[in-house]
């Protein structure tokens, strides 16, 4: 795995300002596979300066030309998709097939969608005697997590570029190689120097410097709610635009009329994919009391089938944290029906696919985001009870509803306090807005809604 020992700033790889580095570890075998520079405030300054310099020309570039550059970027991601998948597998640990399909595949779809949107979006409209222009906000500071290393980057950078903004990216410490590969792709696609810049480094150093930088006009952050609150406060104090994509504790609501086996099977797969490290995962399965025992048996069987097809967790800290939650579930009286806290392998940060039955809504494992392959099955008595439980956390990112009749599922979904709901296993749509209600965040990513986050309006009256 080739790693760059500098930062990508102003269209070139430049020496880092400091000498510290971050070790990149393969979580499947705990071996160090590379080192990248740990950026400091001076690196962030240089990157913001480059983005600022590049902004006027990029903002003035006709949308059709911006679209062509984003299409070229998409083509490079397509050409290098095997390398992307291998890199994500090496630093995140996801099984190669999952990396190919999801970690490499989804960013290609999203980049493609923004190549089209940049060309077709109405950046200008007539409203009565006014013309309203949608103009780019300016320099974007993008801070991303490790769980979908390339998707999280593309879901910010592609709409920002489509809008005419320039970007400084600070990717997660655990997955900087994918971010460096993305910077190479930007370069290969021929984006003008300074339009995209990369500073690797620690969140508390480089991330904080970027979020607080006076030259950054908009901070787009995806990560934990705790850090999101800090970033929101910093941005608020500076009257700076901010988008926050935070945690989740989503409910998979199986109404009594649903195809139970399908709803349980898809529900388990939804959580186990990416080893449970998906912010929108349906980690609470809500089942009517009349079907509870059958659902538990089906879920235990489905989780056991996953066995060693599941990848490791990203790092030692998450490994300890997730197993701690499983121990807490047992201590609070939930019943383990699959998996458990024991590490299934001697090497690597693996956790067995775990299912808890007899979980009550107020238990820690039903309230807090675990970010591991752990499903809690909760019993409900009637629809109102199911709704109370589904809405009964501080989060509101995603969810699922299953019913024989689509209208019945839709009626329930409309009462959920959450940003998106899959009806009877609805497919991922890269054009649908993604983001949270309540403490799951502020703002939306993907599609036209994601593009509008990077725009501000100016009205001219005639």
State the residues that interact with ligand NAD by CB under 6 A. 143-147, 170-173, 203-204, 207-208, 211, 222-224, 227, 230-231, 245-248, 279, 369, 371, 397, 436, 441
Distance separating alpha carbons of residues 26 and 311, to the nearest angstrom: 11
Distance separating alpha carbons of residues 162 and 75, to the nearest angstrom: 16
Q: Which is nearer to ligand NAD, 145 or 399 (CB)?
A: 145
Query: Which neighbouring-strand residues pair with 222?
Result: 245
CB of 393 to ligand NAD, least distance (A): 13
Which residues make Cβ contacts (< 8 Å) with residue 237, sequence separation at least 6? none
CB of 365 to ligand NAD, least distance (A): 15
Query: Which neighbouring-strand residues pair with 338?
Result: 355
Q: How are the residues of the chain apportioned to helix, strand and coil, as percentages rounded to the nearest 5?
A: 45, 20, 35
* Helix residue ranges per DSSP H, 238-382: 260-272, 292-306, 316-331, 364-367
CB of 461 to ligand NAD, least distance (A): 38
Sheet strands side by side (includes 124-127):
124-127, 130-136, 455-461
Q: Which is nearer to ligand NAD, 72 or 110 (CB)?
A: 110
Q: Which is nearer to ligand NAD, 166 or 280 (CB)?
A: 280
Q: Which is nearer to ligand NAD, 268 or 397 (CB)?
A: 397
Does 279 participate in catalysis according to the annotation?
Answer: yes
Quote the strand ranges of 92-195, DSSP E. Answer: 124-127, 130-136, 139-143, 166-170
Which member of 165, 279, 445, 453 is catalytic? Answer: 279
Distance separating alpha carbons of residues 140 and 173, to the nearest angstrom: 19
Say how far residue 339 (Cα) sits from the centre of its chain: 26
Which residues make Cβ contacts (< 8 Å) with residue 333, sequence separation at least 6? 358, 363
Q: Which is nearer to ligand NAD, 4 or 445 (CB)?
A: 445
Q: Which is nearer to ligand NAD, 246 or 285 (CB)?
A: 246
Whether 440 contacts 396, CB under 8 Å: yes
Which residues make Cβ contacts (< 8 Å) with residue 331, sequence separation at least 6? none
Q: Which is nearer to ligand NAD, 70 or 143 (CB)?
A: 143
Distance separating alpha carbons of residues 161 and 29, to the nearest angstrom: 37
CB of 107 to ligand NAD, least distance (A): 14
Whether 202 contacts 22, CB under 8 Å: yes
Distance separating alpha carbons of residues 111 and 186, to the nearest angstrom: 12
Q: Which is nearer to ligand NAD, 106 or 336 (CB)?
A: 106
Which member of 173, 245, 445, 453 is catalytic? Answer: 245
Does 165 participate in catalysis according to the annotation?
Answer: no
Whether 44 contacts 7, CB under 8 Å: no
> What secondary structure does DSSP assign to 309-324, as a single string?
GS---SSHHHHHHHHH
CB of 424 to ligand NAD, least distance (A): 23
Catalytic residue set:
245, 279
């Amino acid at each position: 795995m080739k790693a760059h020992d500098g930062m990508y700033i102003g269209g070139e790889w430049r020496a880092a300002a400091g000498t510290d580095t971050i070790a990149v570890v393969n979580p499947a075998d705990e071996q160090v596979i590379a080192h990248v520079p740990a950026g400091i405030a001076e690196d962030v300054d240089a990157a913001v300066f480059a983005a600022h310099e590049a902004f006027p020309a990029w903002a003035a570039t006709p949308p059709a030309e911006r679209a062509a550059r984003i299409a070229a970027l998409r083509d490079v991601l397509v050409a290098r998709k095997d390398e992307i998948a291998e890199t994500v597998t090496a630093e995140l640990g996801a099984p190669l097939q999952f990396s190919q399909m999801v970690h490499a595949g989804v960013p290609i779809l999203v980049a493609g969608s923004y190549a089209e949107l940049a060309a077709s979006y109405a950046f200008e409209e007539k409203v009565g005697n006014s013309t309203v222009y949608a103009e780019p906000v300016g320099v974007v500071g993008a801070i991303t997590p490790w769980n979908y290393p390339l998707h999280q980057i593309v879901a910010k950078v592609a709409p920002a570029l489509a809008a005419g903004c320039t970007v400084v990216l600070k990717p997660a410490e655990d997955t900087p190689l994918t971010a460096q590969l993305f910077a190479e792709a930007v370069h290969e696609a021929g984006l003008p120097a300074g339009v995209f810049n990369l500073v690797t480094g620690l969140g508390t150093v480089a991330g904080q410097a970027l979020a607080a930088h006076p030259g950054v006009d908009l901070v787009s952050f995806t990560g934990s709610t705790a850090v999101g609150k800090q970033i929101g406060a910093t941005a608020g104090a500076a009257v700076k635009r901010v988008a926050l994509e935070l945690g989740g504790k989503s409910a998979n609501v199986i109404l009594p009329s649903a195809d139970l086996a399908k709803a349980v099977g898809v529900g388990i797969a939804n959580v186990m994919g990416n080893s449970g490290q998906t912010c929108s995962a349906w980690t609470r399965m809500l089942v009517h009391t009349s079907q509870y025992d059958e659902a538990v048996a089906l879920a235990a069987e489905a989780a056991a089938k996953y066995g060693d097809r599941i990848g490791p967790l990203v790092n030692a800290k998450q490994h300890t944290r997730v197993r701690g939650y499983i121990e807490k579930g047992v201590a609070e009286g939930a019943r383990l029906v699959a998996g458990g806290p024991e590490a299934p392998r001697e090497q690597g940060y693996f956790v067995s696919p775990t299912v808890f039955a007899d979980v009550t809504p107020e238990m820690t494992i039903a309230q807090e985001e675990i970010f591991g392959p752990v499903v809690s099955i909760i019993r409900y008595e009637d629809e109102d009870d199911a709704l109370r439980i589904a809405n009964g956390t501080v989060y509101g990112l995603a969810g699922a509803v299953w019913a024989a009749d689509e209208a019945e599922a839709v009626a329930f979904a409309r009462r959920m306090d959450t940003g998106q709901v899959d009806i009877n296993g609805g497919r991922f749509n890269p054009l649908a807005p993604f983001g949270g209600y309540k403490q799951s965040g502020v703002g939306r990513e993907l599609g036209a809604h994601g593009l509008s986050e990077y725009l501000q309006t100016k009205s001219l009256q005639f």
